[in-house]
Amino acid sequence: MKQILQNLKTGETVVEDIPCPSATSGALLVQTTHTLVSAGTERMLVNFGKANLIDKARQQPDKVKMVLDKVKTDGLAPTLQAVRSKLDQPLPMGYCNVGRTLEIGKGVDGFKLGDRVISNGKHAEVVSVPKNLCAKIPDNVSDEEAAFTVIASIALQGIRLGKPTLGECFVVTGLGLIGLVAVQLLRANGCRVLGIDYDSSKIALAQQFGAETVDLSKGEDPLAVAQRFSRGKGVDGVIITASTKSNEPVHQAAEMCRKRGRIILVGVVGLELSRADFYEKELSFQVSCSYGPGRYDSEYEEKGNDYPLPFVRWTEQRNFEAVLDLLAAGQLDVKPLISHRLPFLEAKEAYDVVSNGAPLGILLEFADQDEAELRQSKVQITHKPTTASKAKIGFIGAGNYATHVLIPAFAKTSAELMSVSSNTGISGVHVAKKFEISEATTDTAGLISDDSNNTLVITTRHDSHAGFVQDALEVGKNVFVEKPLAITRDQLQGISESYEQSQANETGARIMVGFNRRFAPQVVKMKQLLESTPEAKAFVMTVNAGGIPADHWTQDRSIGGGRIIGEGCHFVDLLRFLAGAPIISVQAMKMGSVPGMAVSDDKVSINLLFADGSFGTVHYLANGHKSFPKERLEVFCGGAILQLDNFRKLQGYNWPDFKKMNLLQQDKGNSACAAAFVDAIENGEPSPIPFEEIVEVTNACFDVVDQLHE
């Protein structure tokens, strides 16, 4: 199938071949008939992509600060690499999709095969969309009309926040698609409406929909007109749907309003507010969030948990349904808003129109195609000749870490890169082209069973790791899993049993966890120095982890395992490696909670005792500052000290023949870790980290979490 992608580095728009997604649990698979180009949002993305790096930085000053902080801790070269890699990621365009259901995912009710539905799906021939972001189209609403549903819901949510009542007078500032829909919805609420814009053609449409208008291109004074329009009382409310960096729309809205008037921001404008504008009139100002309650809530959007109607009357999905009802009843007319109709495959022309003007509704029309052709789950990327490598790798997952770190690390080895799977197919195709992987797929089960590979690299969400590891072992394949190996003891037990069975069957399957820090060049040097003395060691590991929201998936113990299982395992393994002796005792405590504020498992101190008498402390802290090194390790041993800062600077104190080992850029051992695993396969050797040691470290992390929650 094909999909529209935007390159944020160059601003280029392409129609790319992508493997078809599948209908995951809680989602619908939809074959698209029409999509609507959102001129405002998508023009902004196109223009951002075409800007140079300096202009991009000017548009995102908050991101510049983050980049500068990263330079201080990680160095210039890795920071530039990270920025370029981020900009290199293809961006799927669009969020106004109409089509017919091809497949109903597990746990979805209220829909059947062949239903016409709207969704916030992308500009693609087939989309997979969670059920709460879909709605059925009434029979008397055409696909073209239905394509405006999501855009109209944005206007509807802003109006709901404005709480208009029959007979009130409202101003709509900005008469693009959302603004012109807002005019009609306010009229449907029984309000008198004044529309303001610079474009005379949009002014004419607003008048057609029953609004009085102010044409700024003709020098008309909006404040004077608003005063007459409100009969000298001031307007009851202003809906701002404009897009500008200027603060004028908000200032102007405040001057137009009566005392205790309402201002709702739906668009994007400057927000340097004047207290005087709001103080004397006691004005209320609110920013509207997209389509309504549920937006950006993973429980609602991804997991499909609806809000109870008696308590949350209007959600995203219910707003979609309300718009469709208005279209069906003829109370909302979007036909005059269609300015262009173009075939989907001519999308580049559509974006040229967006870039060069101020169009209204650009509809993309999709040709009816054979379902079997659309639902191909594989896309061939290269046709490389087969190599003599004994390591033939398939990647499961193509997220940020895989794309930026892990796949590049394996690409440097002698391994043959066979396939990469991802849920949507977009990131898989991108990374396959970049690193000459033979194919991209959305069929993970097929990749696991495919005989063309003998090694799987797993970089998916943490809760899926254990299942994929066991699937790989059952078909006799080597497996490298980006930490953690498992997030529960039951999962770990299942993996252990599968591993023992694979060894009994003499398949020789290897398990490796991406504990890359033990392969970092400075850590290897520390290991050499520490092995030169028989004395016990004392380790102090300080991890300036940085804060992550409490509702982030990594904090969810059932999905991410929590931050100790998900990331803290790195540092338990690092100390285990340097000590060179088994862990015999684990003690942990977390920071006490403040009344009224829960403390997550990311402000923790972990004490480890090793069989040789060494001990170590890991301070894993999320309440520090980015300007401080993210990872600092200090080792005290035999009257000497080693200090490692952020895998860039290693300093020795009182070590014979060693003073320092500094690197030009940070090296956490990712490439060496991947190379060691591939070399083991090529040479028929065991995995670089003994399986028993991986299990020991994983169990130690479980002990930590158990103690924190006792």
Listed by start position, the domains of the chain span 2-148+315-366, 151-287, 378-513, 516-708
Q: Quick one: what percent of the chain has pLDDT higher than 70? A: 93
Tokens 């092995």 sit at which residue? 531
Fold: same for 2-148+315-366 and 151-287: no
The residue-averaged pLDDT of 334-357 equals 88
Q: Does domain 151-287 have CATH number 3.40.50.720?
A: yes
Q: Domain spanning 378-513 has what CATH number? A: 3.40.50.720
The residue-averaged pLDDT of 438-449 equals 96
Confidence class for position 497, pLDDT limits 50, 70, 90? very high
Select the more confidently predicted residue: 358 or 437. 437
Q: Does domain 516-708 have CATH number 3.90.1170.50?
A: no
Nearest-Å Rg of the Cα atoms of the chain is 29
- Reported pTM: 0.88
Select the more confidently predicted residue: 520 or 710. 520
| Peptide bond just before 656 cis, omega within 30 deg | no
Q: Quick one: what percent of the chain has pLDDT higher than 90? A: 77
The residue-averaged pLDDT of 566-575 equals 97
Q: What is the 3-state secondary structure (H, E, C) of 180-226?
A: HHHHHHHHHCCCEEEEEECCHHHHHHHHHCCCEEEEHHHCCCHHHHH
pLDDT tens readout for residues 161-203 = 999 999 999 999 999 999 999 999 999 999 999 999 999 999 9
Q: Are 546 and 630 in contact (CB under 8 A)?
A: yes
Q: Is the pLDDT of residue 279 over 70?
A: yes
How high is the pLDDT of residue 62?
A: 66
The residue-averaged pLDDT of 130-150 equals 97
Q: What is the 8-class DSSP label of residue 564? A: I
pLDDT tens readout for residues 69-102 = 666 666 666 666 666 666 677 889 999 999 999 9
Residue type, 154: I
Q: Among candidates 32, 112, 121, 150, which has minimal Cα distance to 424? A: 121
Confidence class for position 58, pLDDT limits 50, 70, 90? low
Confidence class for position 388, pLDDT limits 50, 70, 90? confident
Confidence class for position 673, pLDDT limits 50, 70, 90? very high
Q: Are 111 and 117 in contact (CB under 8 A)?
A: yes
pLDDT tens readout for residues 17-33 = 999 998 889 999 999 99
pLDDT tens readout for residues 586-603 = 999 998 765 555 557 889
CATH topology of domain 2-148+315-366: Quinone Oxidoreductase; Chain A, domain 1 (3.90.180)
How high is the pLDDT of residue 67?
A: 65
Confidence class for position 237, pLDDT limits 50, 70, 90? very high
